[in-house]
Amino acid sequence: DTGVSQDPRHKITKRGQNVTFRCDPISEHNRLYWYRQTLGQGPEFLTYFQNEAQLEKSRLLSDRFSAERPKGSFSTLEIQRTEQGDSAMYLCASSLLGGTGVKAFFGQGTRLTVV
Amino acid sequence: GQQLNQSPQSMFIQEGEDVSMNCTSSSIFNTWLWYKQDPGEGPVLLIALYKAGELTSNGRLTAQFGITRKDSFLNISASIPSDVGIYFCAGQLQGGSEKLVFGKGMKLTVNP
């Protein structure tokens, strides 16, 4: 049973550098979400894909952030010109279209530290 | 933005005791989810609720979707040390958005 997989688990980068994270959802899931979590807070929604289409973006997703899901399978989240305020846990989740509501399963997250 | 008020923020209990926590909002939700998160890990889904009034159990955990669709609660019975962690409620707002809105979490400590 393969759950949502995220890579890397940890990333330390210098301010101003670009970083890219990868998410592999549960194989039959066609919805994929990115969330950000800072210390002591609940996750905050960033963006959501249905298959390869990016259907919703949060105002938190500044111009420096870009997410893709080119073939409707894995997704990448890129942060350009990182800032110290970008330090957080970046969580990916997936869900299956259909049913009565969202049932999102999360990966283990990527912990980003910007120094 | 939308907020979920989750309470209490933390609890310290003895092993074997029951725990209750809840989430409230001024907004109406279509879905309520409860997650548990361990340090450095992603949230793990515990229970999903989709109908007002729905009561669902998962082992020692019981959760309910409030009748007004603006709240939900989670009970843990006969707590054990491995229940330690942070519990989050999350809701999907009425209106079609796919995003989940999370509470700030409830940190549970269980003393053996």
Per CB-CB distance under 8 Å, the chain A contacts of B36 are none
The conformational region for residue A73 under phi > 0 = left, psi -120 to 50 = alpha, else beta, is alpha
Q: Per-residue pLDDT for chain B (112 aa), expressed as one digit of tens each?
A: 557 999 999 999 999 999 999 999 999 999 999 999 999 999 999 999 999 999 999 999 999 999 999 999 999 999 999 999 999 999 999 887 889 999 999 999 999 9
| Mutation target vs A (from B4, B98, B101, B107; most A CBs, 10 A cutoff) | B98
Contacts of A111 (CB under 8 A, 6+ apart): A9, A10, A11, A89, A90, B40
Nearest chain A alpha carbon to B43 = A106
- Quick check: B42 and A103 CB within 8 A? no
pLDDT digits (tens, 9 = 90+) for A6-37: 999 999 999 999 999 999 999 989 999 999 99
Element (H, E) at B7: strand B5-7
Each residue of B25-56: b (16+ CB within 10 Å) or e?
A: beeebbbbbbbbbeeebbbebbbbbbebeeeb
- Quick check: A91 and B88 CB within 8 A? no
Q: Which residue among A4, A6, A45 sits closest to B100, beta carbon to beta carbon?
A: A45
C-alpha R_g of chain B: 13
